[in-house]
Chain A
Amino acid sequence: MLRPATFAIALTLAACSAPGPKISTRDAWARETGSADSAAAYVTIENKGGADELVGAKASIGEAMIHESSMDGGVMRMRPVANGEGLSVPSNGKLMLGPGGTHVMIMGLKGPLKAGDHFNLTLLFAKARPHKVDVTVKPAGAK
């Protein structure tokens, strides 16, 4: 009788594997830009499921990378979050990308971002499927 045994194994495996992440996003925005061809986008990522990691991003308007700003003795440093190294989106928690911290850096803009514009950002996760976000461009003086 192979079948009940297989069923039992399948059950055990199901019980062991963590629940999948449930990703949603809010407050996606970017600041208006001047003549420079780079911008930063911010978003709050909420997760009502199992733990996941943000591993990258794609933007419709340029090349997107996850960057981290950090303070070191009054000096602000900006570095890409290393390839393959994800940012934790905790189980039943959130990851906030906001000014002066972790953000999506977009380079190679074809034109300036104007307040009121919208663009698409796709967030890439280790487990969850790519998540599309509509980003609103706000006046430079916002926040």
Chain B
Amino acid sequence: MRNLRLVLWVAVAVAAMIGGALLWRQSNAPLLKPVPTQVSFGGPFTLIDSGGQPFASSKLAGKPYAIFFGFTHCPDVCPTTLARLVKLRRQLGNEGAFQIVFVTVDPERDGPKEVGNYADLFGSPIIGLTGSGSQIAQVKKDYGIFSEKVGTGDDYTIDHTATVLLFDGDQKFQSTIAPDETDETAIAKLKKLT
């Protein structure tokens, strides 16, 4: 009996959460949609690279790139996503197939050194970028990225869009890779970039 009641209460809680999530999504318009048909993301930016130098997005031109927004204190989803991109790039057979760009949504804690150390962890070239608070806010807006600090003090975490955005060599937005998409789908999208 106790188990049945527990199950029912869990069902009620799940229903409430789904309802809440739907309402929340409706009230927060600029979220990245999984199927971008008319919408577009991107645009020129200047951020700061791991050497502390300005990095203009024009440097990425000529070769496709996958751009992912995260933060270096993110222990699970961010390294999982970057590791996956590195793996997919190897599966495509060459390290030069596309560039991987990591932009922090946590410029408070992630300076050039932090994003550089983080990008270097994966044993394959990743461009780590940070910027001032306003530079990051602007690029997030242009790229349809949501992020929100959770918690206080030094141990805060950040909820953020975990979708990877794909651009072709002409810096045109092409498609996205969601964390729950299969590798086959992701590879097909990456192949289309070139």
List A residues at the B interface (Cβ < 8 Å).
31-40, 67, 69, 71-78, 99-100, 103, 105-108, 139-143
Contact = CB atoms under 8 A, between A and B. Distances in A.
B161 A74 contact: yes
B55 interface: no
B159 A75 contact: yes
21 contacts: A31-B75, A31-B83, A34-B114, A35-B113, A36-B109, A40-B76, A69-B76, A69-B77, A71-B179, A71-B180, A73-B31, A74-B31, A74-B33, A74-B34, A75-B161, A76-B160, A78-B159, A99-B77, A106-B75, A140-B82, A141-B123
A99 B180 CA distance: 11
A141 B87 contact: yes
A38 B75 contact: yes
A140 B79 contact: yes
A34 B121 contact: yes
A76 B179 contact: yes
A34 B120 contact: yes
Contacts of A73: 21, 25, 31
A78 B21 contact: no
Contacts of B77: 69, 76, 78, 99-100
Contacts of A141: 83, 86-87, 121-124
Contacts of A75: 31, 146, 159-162
A74 B32 contact: yes
